[in-house]
Amino acid sequence: MPGVEHLHELLGLPAVDFELETGGTVRPEAGEAAWRLRVDPYDDERDDAWGQQFDAFLEAVDPAGVRALIIGQWGETYEKNSSYPIGLVVAAADRLTSLEAVFVGDLEMEEAEISWIEQSDVTALLSAYPALTELGVRGGSRLVFPPVRHASLRALTIESGGLPREVVRGVLDSELPALERLELWLGVSAYGGDAALRDLAPLLSGTRFPRLHHLGLRNSELENEIATAIASAPVVARLRTLDLSSGTLSDEGAAALLEGQPLTHLTALDLHHHFLTEPMERRVVEALEPHGVRVDLSERCEPWDGRGAAGRYTTVAE
């Protein structure tokens, strides 16, 4: 799972692993950390190991002060889906009264490939926590996101090697009037990423999410098609930052971006992990950086085995 690692922060707070025994070190105050709870299923084979750690966390750290929670490995994640930890967090809503941010599935490759992370209906967290401002999810397998209304959510990130069409549609059919940042890792069809460009139409039309200013449509085998659509998409006018990184973007998509509507109002354009040629890289930089746009063109890639377009690959798939 190259390109995927444990979170270093959430809600601007440093990620801290909860340990019942601190070894003499001073534990941060409840609201000063993004608390990560995880178990090693090989060291602790109890079916309820994560739940027992969560109970211990609620006793050791003032739950009313907790602002950010990171759900790490909860067991053998390809056997037990995320409804297990999510259900426990939902049940504790009357104690976690200051919770603003949750990330579900903070696993690295050594713990589980992204396609092995069994998710569930993550909108249960939104229903239980009306004040939640950030929600992040890693893993698209069995992920469910029915349309939901939530007045407070400002940032939504879904990281996946293959994001199901129904999840994309559920997100875009949701009423999220406060949403400012949306990041979707669309992935590849071989790992369940069956969303087509037409499924993104409500988003690109600019009729959804009136406060949106950051859009990431990343890690996609359709990156050229997305870039071509972005070139004339009404949503772009309100954006400050645009992220089309980690996918199969080539000269074709980059040229469409440059030939479409102006992008000079952006503060940043992230295209890292791409398949642009050096001349096209120069064109992008010369068109945008004089206007103050920060352009990330790091990680130029070459197609596998000289196979041209068929050899292009995303950062994350399996």
User: 3 pLDDT band (50/70/90 cuts)?
Assistant: low
Any idea which residue has 């440059």 for tokens? 258
Whether 261 is in a domain gets the answer no
Where do we find the tokens 């503060």? 267
* Mean pLDDT score across all residues of the chain: 95
- Residue 280 within a domain: no
Q: Is the pTM of this model over 0.85?
A: yes
**44, 20 in Cβ contact below 8 A?**
no
Identify the domain containing residue 80 by its residue range: 9-239
**Can you tell me the distance from the alpha carbon of 107 to that of 122, in angstroms, rounded to the nearest whole number?**
16
Write the pLDDT tens digit of every residue in 180-193.
999 999 999 999 99
Look at the chain and count its residues: 318
Residue 295 CA: distances (Å) to CA of 42, 195, 272: 43, 27, 9
Does residue 272 lie in a domain region?
Answer: no
Nearest to 124 by CA among 172, 88, 70: 88
Q: 159 to each of 182, 278, 280, how far by Cα in Å?
A: 11, 29, 28
Whether residue 123 is contained in a domain is answered as yes
Residue 101 domain-assigned?
yes
CATH number of the domain to which 74 belongs: 3.80.10.10
> Over pLDDT 70: what percentage of the chain?
98
Number of domains in the chain: 1
Can you tell me whether residue 59 is helix, strand or coil?
Answer: helix
pLDDT, tens digit (0-9, with 9 covering 90-100), for 21-78:
877 688 999 999 999 999 987 776 677 999 999 999 999 999 999 999 999 999 887 7
